[in-house]
Amino acid sequence: MTAITAWPAQAQDWLDERGRPAWIAAMILGFILFWPVGLALLFYMIWSKRMFNGPCRAEWRQHRNEMRRQYREHWKAYGDTLRYGFRPSGNSAFDAYKADTLKRLEDEQGAFEAFLERLRAAKDKTEFDAFMDERARAARETPPEPPPQS
């Protein structure tokens, strides 16, 4: 290798020895001195995966896996709660009471949803009537245009 082609490899080795902060500092310095150099360094860091490897990436992967594990445990417990809520208990009197209560709650929910729908319809009608009254008032207040004269 000649001295002209060897310096990029030497610079890369030097920056690699010092880690990601050295690469970021070199990129920022490149942007300050001549923006295409900083942009080229940024693209090189992304392309060579120097931005996204090392201990930080490993810590992120570990954190992500821990969050996934907690998520799965939470929803497994929640799913068990849902399954147990509708599973027969073995006591016929309690199961009948539970079924009646659930049916009553479903009926109340349906009645409440119908009530909300009636409220929305009444509000819509009130707003529409107000619009039509305003439109009629504006039509009464505007003088009729004279017929065109020939």
pTM here? 0.36
Question: What is residue 119's predicted lDDT score, i.e. its pLDDT?
Answer: 95
Is 43 a residue whose pLDDT tops 90? no
- Which backbone phi and psi does 142 adopt, to 5 degrees? -80, 125
- 30: tokens are 């490149």
Q: Cβ contacts of residue 56 below 8 Å, gap of 6+?
A: 20
Is 50 a residue whose pLDDT tops 70? no
pLDDT digits (tens, 9 = 90+) for 26-42: 888 888 888 888 888 77
